[in-house]
Amino acid sequence: MWSPHRQGLWFLITSHPSKSASASLETPLTITVQAPSSSSVTFVSSLGGWDSTGRNTITKAVDPDKKTVSADLKASIAGVATVQIYDEAKPSTVDKMTVAFSASLANAYRITIQATPTVVPQTLGSTSGISTLIATVTDLSGNPVGDAPVAFEIIKNTGVGETVSPAIVMTAGTTSSGQVLGQAKSTFTAGSLSSTTGGVVIRASVVGKSLTTSIAPSGDDAKLTIGGTAGSVSIGRSTVTEVGGNNSLYIMPISVVVADSNGNSVVGAKVSLSSFPVSFNAEGRGCDVTSGYGDFLNEDSNENQALDPGEDGLRIPFPLGVTGLLSTSGVASTSDGKLTPPNSASGTLPSTVTTDASGVATFNLTYTKSNALWIFARIRASVIVLGTETVGESVFRLPALEGDIGPCRIPNSPYLY
């Protein structure tokens, strides 16, 4: 027959072989120790008090018949007690365990929920956007509540594959598995569609309990953002312009940056590009934009690339409200049967670009030297955001290199008043 004495296990805690236990506040937990009948045993705890003494240490004699001794540990505040029990005659003979004290489910008062991270990527292929949901249940004094059933529920989503699993979790009553007392964890997995900022809402509630919360009746909400869909587009042009086309062209590097609704980079966004000459300088000379009649809006006022009635010879100062620098009294504007300036005057660029891992795409704007200084170009970049187009644009006078300005090598403006 097996005997703990023969095995050398003559001093050990027998009531809790796993060396861990949980208990409710103000509820005694009995701890029993097997020891030699001649011993007196000292119980020590880092939290709570023994029997009815309220002290954290107590020494008791071993029952000579049962060869056991017991003591009750009770705590009024939540936490993890380290319990150490030793032979009074031989203090080096010890056994120990932990006891997690938490408030009872009957005293649950409040629940909160946090999501980490609050911004997750879309789930695409084998890559999943995941956030850890942590619900914490406490009593009125803020003590954690263990063994409370917490339900996780999706209140608002995009409707494309979001999940929360598991749907119900018990709050931790012990710390044996590295959990925090009073906490329950679940996992949110994003779908394949991005959301607006805080567009996904997850609620945590204690099953069968009506609790006080800061947001929703009987539950608390966490707001998440599924990123990865463009929220905004910005354009930046280089401060250095290159020369090409046998010295007849300028090449300007330009970048577009695409961010989602939370400001994170959007990878693989397809950006549509366009250029348009929003204005032209009439009869400027010698690289001096103030020498002619000034800048005027493109005759193609509706930007349909067709010469409509009333557009030929149309002269509207640019910017609006700014008049030409020379008197136009008695001078008729030029009607030549075509749109001024031609659409190509603002240069050419690729029709689309795709953003890299930083949410950035680069391209070149190529334009003729003969249009430098005399054309204001509008570069526009657009992407589709949740079914709606979002646009970024930059309007600037086409620059010329300093070496072509002094002395002036740029031809006079080809556009008449």
SS3 269: coil
120: in domain: yes
DSSP 70: E
387: in domain: yes
Burial letters 220-240, b for 16+ CB under 10 A, else e: bbbbbbbbbbbbbbebebeee
Which range of residues forms the domain containing residue 322?
231-405
* CB atoms closer than 10 angstroms to residue 140: 11
Last residue of a domain, one of 51, 71, 101: 101
Q: At 169, which amino acid appears?
A: V
Total domains present in the chain: 3
Q: Over its length of 417 residues, how does the chain's per-residue pLDDT go in tens digits?
A: 333 443 345 789 999 998 989 999 999 999 999 998 778 999 999 999 999 898 999 999 999 999 999 999 999 999 999 999 999 988 889 999 999 999 999 999 999 999 988 888 888 777 788 999 999 999 988 899 999 999 999 999 888 889 999 999 999 988 766 778 999 999 999 988 878 778 899 999 999 888 866 555 567 899 988 876 667 899 999 998 999 989 999 999 999 999 877 778 888 888 999 999 999 999 999 999 999 899 999 999 999 889 999 999 999 998 865 555 544 555 678 999 999 999 999 999 999 999 998 999 999 999 999 999 999 999 999 987 555 578 899 999 999 999 999 899 999 999 999
The tokens for 377 are 């170009």
- Shared domain check, 149 and 83: no
Cβ partners under 8 Å of residue 38, min gap 6: 62, 64, 89
Last residue of a domain, one of 227, 258, 286: 227
- Shared domain check, 314 and 214: no
SS3 87: strand
Sheet holding 183-189, edge to edge: 110-116, 130-138, 183-189, 163-165
- Say if residues 169 and 185 touch (Cβ distance below 8 Å): yes
**DSSP per position, 105-158:** GGG--EEEEEEESSEEE--BTTB--EEEEEEEEE-TTS-BB-S-EEEEEEEE--
Last residue of a domain, one of 193, 208, 227: 227
- Say if residues 55 and 73 touch (Cβ distance below 8 Å): no
Distance, in Å, from the CA atom of 81 to the CA atom of 97, rounded to the nearest integer, reads 8
Distance, in Å, from the CA atom of 174 to the CA atom of 192, rounded to the nearest integer, reads 37
Distance, in Å, from the CA atom of 332 to the CA atom of 340, rounded to the nearest integer, reads 15
Taking Cα atoms as reference points, which of 213, 132, 199, 103 lies closest to residue 160?
199
412: in domain: no
- Shared domain check, 178 and 44: no
